[in-house]
Amino acid sequence: MKTGIRISGFGGQGIVLSGVIVGKAAVLNGFNAVQTQSYGPEARGGSSRSEIVISDEEIDYPKVESASISIIMSQEAFSKYAPMTENQGIIIYDPELIPDKKIGGNFKLAELNATRIASELGTKIVANIVMLGGFCEICDIISKGSMKDSIKDSIPKMLDLNISAFESGMENIKKINW
């Protein structure tokens, strides 16, 4: 088993943190995991990307070529990384951030209004955690418990808000009809 996950968006959305949470959760679940990240020198804005390779064997190459799962949170990232998802792979994206959703290829598309859901919870900064809830629910790689433990370990402040965001993501993605 080897799964590549790519999370992409712009700087400030917590793209790298989301990658860390997934990687740490995978390790807590007993897998090997490598998380890498790529971003420009800006503190906010600019494109941001984080990749996680999860495997039950030793991981040589630490990067993701075609992702099994793409989590996408900006138009620029959608145009660039959605096509870099493997055939039949899952693309979870926030439709309100992506006006142009045209894409060829054979993918399972999962819309999740993460930014809106996060705003309704009080702050859009937890949109990334909403996305992780959606990811956990539909991908069935990492257990809910490990994801929550990882969130707790990675974000010591405002834990309740983040757990609510995570659960809202899980709940809302269930409405999708493939």
Partner 1 sequence: MTNEIIRLVGKKDLFIQGDEATVYGALLADCKFFAGYPITPATEVAEGMAIWMPKLGRVCVQMEDEIASIAAVIGASCTGVRAMTATSGPGFSLMQECIGYACMAETPCVIVNVQRGGPSTGQPTEAAQGDIMQTMWGTHGDHQIIALAPKSVQETLDLTIEAFNLSDDYRVPVVVLLDAELGHMREKVVLPEVKNIKVEEKIKSNIESDNFKPYRKHFKKSSKIPNFKHFGLGYKTYITGLTHDERGFPVTTSAEVHEDLVTRLIDKILDDIDNVWYYEDYLIDDAEIMVISYGITSRPAASAVKMAREKGIKVGHIRLITIWPFNYEKIKELLKNVHTVIVPEMNLGQMIHPIREVVGKDVKVILAPRIGGAIHSPKEIFKYIGEVKP
Min CB(37)–partner 1 separation in Å: 6
Q: Which of 80/116 has CB closer to partner 1?
A: 80
Rounded distance between C-alpha atoms, residue 97 and residue 106, angstroms:
22
Any contact of residue 156 with partner 1 (CB under 8 A)?
no
Any contact of residue 38 with partner 1 (CB under 8 A)?
yes
* Interface pick for partner 1 out of 3, 13, 18, 35 (rule CB under 8 A): 35
Min CB(101)–partner 1 separation in Å: 27
**Helix or strand or coil: residue 5?**
strand
Strands 47-55 and 2-10: antiparallel
Min CB(38)–partner 1 separation in Å: 7
Contact range with partner 1 by CB under 8 A, out of 39-47, 81-89, 99-107, 129-137: 39-47
Any contact of residue 65 with partner 1 (CB under 8 A)?
yes
Terminus-to-terminus CA distance in the chain, angstroms? 24
User: Any residues with CB less than 8 A from the CB of 44 and at least 6 apart, and which?
Assistant: 11, 12
Any contact of residue 56 with partner 1 (CB under 8 A)?
no
Q: Which helix (H) or strand (E) holds 143?
A: none
Number of residues that bind partner 1 (CB under 8 A): 19
Any contact of residue 105 with partner 1 (CB under 8 A)?
no
Strands 67-72 and 2-10: parallel
Contact range with partner 1 by CB under 8 A, out of 54-62, 66-74, 80-88, 106-114: 54-62
Torsion-angle region of 104 (φ positive above 0: left; ψ -120 to 50: alpha; else: beta): beta
**Helix or strand or coil: residue 105?**
coil
Any contact of residue 24 with partner 1 (CB under 8 A)?
yes
Rounded distance between C-alpha atoms, residue 138 and residue 97, angstroms:
21
* Interface pick for partner 1 out of 33, 71, 90, 129 (rule CB under 8 A): 33
Rounded distance between C-alpha atoms, residue 166 and residue 154, angstroms:
14
Interface residue list for partner 1 (CB under 8 A): 20, 23-24, 27, 32-41, 60-63, 65
